[in-house]
Amino acid sequence: MVRDFIDSSGFLEKPNVEIIKPNPLSKDLLERIHSLEYIQKVKRISETGEGDIDIDTPGFKGLWENALITNGATVTGVEAILEGRVNHFYTPTGGFHHANYNTGGGFCIFNDIAASVHRLLDAGFKRILIADFDVHHGNGTQSYFDKDPRVMMISFHEDPEWLYPHEGYIHEIGEGPGKGYNINMHFPLDAGDAVYRYAFDRLVPPLVNFYRPEFILFLPGFDAHYRDPLAHLNLTTHMIRYVAEYIHNAAHKWCGGKLGVVSGGGYHPDTFRWGIGEVMSVITGHEYSAPTQNPPFEDDEETWEIVRKNVKEVEDLVFPLHNLVPHD
């Protein structure tokens, strides 16, 4: 579906766009990000087609090969940037941020973000930004790096009280040397573009400019759209593009353009395609505009009150750790 959409939208005709054949995730990286016991479990399920990764993540025959190639695609993109072949990559099958060392879940088998970060650390990168705007908190990814200041993770997501994986509260700011490098900002039900942009503008630029990342991995958050059936936020693709434009500019400002984009979630076919079109437009420079959208709600005063309170809490917890001054 994604390939057909990108093709029909004209992106594959552009001189600065190419398709790179993905390689499977390497044994070395796989065994660094997941336990041998869990790896063997995935193999068994894949061979027999019996059993589940988790209650929401059913097994099937061929699961092993599928997971290796979809996760390997993200690392292949990283390799292409390290080789100087491209500045940016986009993979529609990446963003498996719920998988952790011992388990999968949330439709995620292996964690391609963790694998990519390890590859970048091996290459000598010391400041890697994970900009995770998926509507579901990236709990698996957080579990790998919340003690490591070489990785900053900024996650904007729906309130964990209401949405899977029920993690990613504001007070989760990292531990030990990584304290202050794990930033969680969550939103109440029905939060829309206005409050989201307010929170983004208050939190993200100061943190990114402080951190000066050398490489950015970006999950745009297509499932935060108001038409998505698995969540309850109220965004449009205008906000998705706004976030993508900032992240893209930040990559050029701080990283020499080193930017990897992975789809993450997105469970309405139309809005998934529209979001991809907007992000592809941003990172390629080629024109695309999603259809007009009319969300069912505007941000009311109660929503504003909750978001202002949450933003202030994030600022008060994190900013002083980096000598940043919170807003009044």
> How do strand 182-187 and strand 151-158 relate by DSSP bridges?
parallel
In angstroms and rounded to an integer, the radius of gyration of the C-alpha atoms of the chain is: 19
Ramachandran bin of 49, using left for φ above 0, alpha for ψ from -120 to 50, beta for the remaining angles: left
- With the CA atoms of 35, 64, 54 and 74 taken in that order, what torsion angle do they form, in degrees rounded to the nearest 10? 80
Would residue 11 count as lying in a domain? yes
Among residues 45, 37, 39, which one has the least CA distance to residue 71?
Answer: 39
Task: Transcribe 10-76 into DSSP letters.
Answer: TGGGSTT----PPPPPPHHHHHHHS-HHHHHHHHHHHHH--SEEETTEE--TTHHHHHHHHHHHHHH
Among residues 218, 262, 249, 257, which one has the least CA distance to residue 81?
Answer: 257
What is the number of structural domains in the chain?
1
Tokens of 47: 């061979």
Peptide bond preceding 24 in cis form (omega within 30 of 0): no
Over the stretch 261-273, which tens digit does the pLDDT of each residue have?
999 999 999 999 9
Tokens of 9: 């939208």
Distance in angstroms (rounded) separating the CA atoms of residues 318 and 189: 24
CATH code, domain carrying 110: 3.40.800.20
Contacts of residue 46, Cβ cutoff 8 Å, sequence gap at least 6: 59, 60, 61, 62, 63, 64, 65
Instruction: Provide the pLDDT for residue 328.
Output: 65
Would residue 178 count as lying in a domain? yes
Burial class (CB in 10 A: 0-12, 13-18, 19+), 266: buried
Beta bridge partners of 89: 260
Would residue 327 count as lying in a domain? no
Over the stretch 185-221, which tens digit does the pLDDT of each residue have?
999 999 999 999 999 999 999 999 999 999 999 999 9
Instruction: Provide the pLDDT for residue 327.
Output: 75
Would residue 295 count as lying in a domain? yes
Instruction: Provide the pLDDT for residue 326.
Output: 83
Would residue 48 count as lying in a domain? yes
Measured in whole angstroms, the distance separating CA 68 from the mean position of its chain's CA atoms is 19
CA end-to-end span of the chain, whole Å? Answer: 47
Tokens of 277: 């079109």
Would residue 207 count as lying in a domain? yes
Measured in whole angstroms, the distance separating CA 267 from the mean position of its chain's CA atoms is 15
Would residue 328 count as lying in a domain? no
Distance in angstroms (rounded) separating the CA atoms of residues 130 and 219: 8
Distance in angstroms (rounded) separating the CA atoms of residues 305 and 313: 12
Among residues 277, 274, 280, which one has the least CA distance to residue 261?
Answer: 280
Distance in angstroms (rounded) separating the CA atoms of residues 270 and 275: 9
Residue ranges of E strands in the chain:
52-54, 57-58, 88-91, 128-132, 151-158, 182-187, 215-219, 259-262
Q: Which of 98, 136, 137, 186 is catalytic?
A: 98
The structure's pTM equals 0.98
Helix (H, G, I), strand (E, B) or coil at 103: coil
Residue 142 sits in which domain range? Answer: 2-322
| 98 part of the active site | yes
Q: How many CB atoms lie within 10 A of CB 284?
A: 15
pLDDT, one tens digit for every residue, the chain (328 residues): 999 999 999 999 999 999 999 999 999 999 999 999 999 999 999 999 999 999 999 999 999 999 999 999 999 999 999 999 999 999 999 999 999 999 999 999 999 999 999 999 999 999 999 999 999 999 999 999 999 999 999 999 999 999 999 999 999 999 999 999 999 999 999 999 999 999 999 999 999 999 999 999 999 999 999 999 999 999 999 999 999 999 999 999 999 999 999 999 999 999 999 999 999 999 999 999 999 999 999 999 999 999 999 999 999 999 999 999 887 6
Would residue 24 count as lying in a domain? yes
